Amino acid sequence: MSRFSRRTFVCTTIALFCAGLGAVAQAAEPIKIGLITALSGQSALAGEAITRGMQVAIDEINAKGGLLDGRKLELVRRDDEANPAKGVVAARELIYKEKVAAIFGGLDTPVSMAIVPLVNQAKMPFIGPWAAGTPITKNGAKPNYVFRVSAVDEVVDVAMVDYAQKTFNASKFGLIMVNNPWGESNERGLIAALAAKGIKPVGSEKFEGNDVDVVPQLTRLKAAGADALFLVGNVGPSAQVVKSLDRMGWKVPVVSHWGPAGGRFTELAGPNAKEVHFVQTYSFFGKQSPVGEKVITALKAKYSNIKGPEDITPAVGVANAYDAMQLTALAIQKAGSTDGNAIREGFYKIDNYDGLIKQYKQPFSPEVHDALTAQDYVWAQFIDNRILPVGLAK
């Protein structure tokens, strides 16, 4: 063999070897999944619940060999501190620096709403396991990269009206809403749900997220004759509503969105926290499906502070995030790549998934980006610092 031929042979062999190593490295490269949520402050418990639901699902997927010919999933978290501006900064970092394949958005509707235009522009799949604002998924973008496995305000609002009428025989409704996009979304939804029954609220009041006294607003609702209150607010503000009711000595049924479930509600609201009835999408109490038993077992094995269902709280954070992660994995597998547009199309190709909350049948379509319906809601109370379905709260 000539010197030229030997040199060519050696160079070609080295090139092929390096190419092989590169292909192996690429195949082994993890698929990063971003999470932006409140990991500090009053709602940190809910942020941790979302984390745990996602992580248990990721561990399960990785144990089965990962996705796309053996690539493992890796969770990358960022704390938005319930601040929309910080949520947008976190989203930019996850998209452009971390190169995630998809982003999960956490708790707060204002944060999610701030992120939505960014992810649609970047063609980045954005999956909501908590924030319920109707415009998050119904955002007008075409194509729309935002999907959700959670409650939806306009559907919850109908359920709140039905529940208040059935449970408390109420007919004069007062609205007490946090003054932000989430409160506005529910105010519109509740007024529409009442109008469908030929009813108008006797009053609608707003409070700020940092208010420590809402007695004036509640006094106006009492004077207007309200016999039930619809409450929308996160943990801290909702607790202040309960404490203000206590100061007034006003015993009135309170039917709430799920804000109180997001953190230290009983600690902040006091003994009458148990009087608030709020919506949930899942409970780990009672008889579980095989998927429910599997998830409880995995949570106990991974987290030392989980001994039973009472320690899996807020349950909706864990359950929504678990199912959302599994559905996202299916979308990636259907896509056959981590390309954002391919994953978006992958969500539409999911046929069936036997999930934790329910059995999903074609959960997404170009017209429907919300996987849960009103039939997937349950009602709960805090009993002895535990979130229990109302039927079990005895």
Claim to verify: residue 252 and residue 293 sit in the same structural domain = no
Question: Is 385 inside a domain boundary?
Answer: no
DSSP tag of 375: G
Claim to verify: residue 139 and residue 178 sit in the same structural domain = no
pLDDT of residue 16: 52
Question: Is 25 inside a domain boundary?
Answer: no
Does the structure show a pLDDT above 90 at 18?
Answer: no
Average pLDDT of the residues in 254-279: 89
Claim to verify: residue 272 and residue 291 sit in the same structural domain = no
Helices (H) and strands (E) in the chain, counts: 13, 14
d(CA 339, CA 112): 22
- Token pair in block for residue 188: 């519109």
Q: 177-228 pLDDT, tens per residue?
A: 999 988 998 999 999 999 999 999 999 999 998 898 999 999 999 999 999 9
Total number of domains constituting the chain:
2
Question: Is 324 inside a domain boundary?
Answer: yes
Which SS3 state, helix, strand or coil, does residue 246 take?
A: helix
Does the structure show a pLDDT above 60 at 1?
Answer: no
Question: Is 367 inside a domain boundary?
Answer: yes
- 127 or 236, which is more confident? 127
Claim to verify: residue 116 and residue 62 sit in the same structural domain = yes
Question: Is 165 inside a domain boundary?
Answer: yes
Residues 38 and 78 sit within 8 Å (Cβ to Cβ) = no
Claim to verify: residue 178 and residue 237 sit in the same structural domain = yes
Give alpha helix (H) positions in 205-314.
Answer: 215-223, 235-248, 265-269, 290-302
d(CA 180, CA 177): 8
Claim to verify: residue 63 and residue 122 sit in the same structural domain = yes
Where is the domain boundary, 280, 312, 342?
280
- Token pair in block for residue 3: 């010197």
Preceding omega of 314 cis (within 30 degrees of 0): yes
Q: 99-117 pLDDT, tens per residue?
A: 999 999 978 899 999 999 9
Residues 57 and 33 sit within 8 Å (Cβ to Cβ) = no
- Token pair in block for residue 361: 């049948």
Length of the chain: 394
Question: Is 338 inside a domain boundary?
Answer: yes
pLDDT of residue 9: 54
Q: 77-96 pLDDT, tens per residue?
A: 999 999 999 999 999 999 99
Q: How many degrees, rounded to 5, is the angle at CA 198 between CA 196 and CA 201?
A: 95
Claim to verify: residue 159 and residue 261 sit in the same structural domain = yes
> Could you list the residue range(s) of the whole structural domain that residue 254 is in?
154-280
d(CA 22, CA 184): 52
- For residue 288, what are the contacts with CB-CB under 8 A and spacing of at least 6? 296
Average pLDDT of the residues in 303-316: 92
Of 163, 164, 159, which is closest to residue 226 (Cα–Cα)?
164
DSSP tag of 43: T
- Burial label for 179, CB within 10 Å (0-12, 13-18, 19+), is middle
By mean pLDDT, which of 110-114, 254-258, 310-314 is the weakest? Answer: 310-314
d(CA 20, CA 11): 14
Strand partners, 359: 354
Where is the domain boundary, 247, 280, 313?
280
- Burial label for 227, CB within 10 Å (0-12, 13-18, 19+), is middle
pLDDT of residue 394: 47
Where is the domain boundary, 232, 252, 280?
280
Of 3-7, 168-172, 282-286, the range with the highest mean pLDDT is 168-172
Residue given tokens 């190419």 in the structure block: 19
Does the structure show a pLDDT above 60 at 12?
Answer: no
Residues 65 and 73 sit within 8 Å (Cβ to Cβ) = no
Can you say whether residue 2 is alpha, beta or left, with left for phi > 0 and alpha for psi between -120 and 50 degrees? beta
d(CA 89, CA 86): 5
d(CA 184, CA 220): 19
d(CA 146, CA 91): 13
- Does an H or E element contain 383, and which? strand 378-383
Claim to verify: residue 83 and residue 178 sit in the same structural domain = no
CB neighbours of residue 376 within 10 Å = 16
Strand partners, 352: 361
Question: Is 225 inside a domain boundary?
Answer: yes
Claim to verify: residue 276 and residue 158 sit in the same structural domain = yes
Which SS3 state, helix, strand or coil, does residue 173 take?
A: strand
pLDDT of residue 25: 45
Claim to verify: residue 292 and residue 322 sit in the same structural domain = yes
Q: How many degrees, rounded to 5, is the angle at CA 270 between CA 266 and CA 272?
A: 95
Claim to verify: residue 86 and residue 141 sit in the same structural domain = yes
d(CA 267, CA 335): 45
Residue 157 φ/ψ, nearest 5 degrees: -60, -40
Claim to verify: residue 367 and residue 337 sit in the same structural domain = yes
**CATH number, residue 109:** 3.40.50.2300
Question: Is 105 inside a domain boundary?
Answer: yes
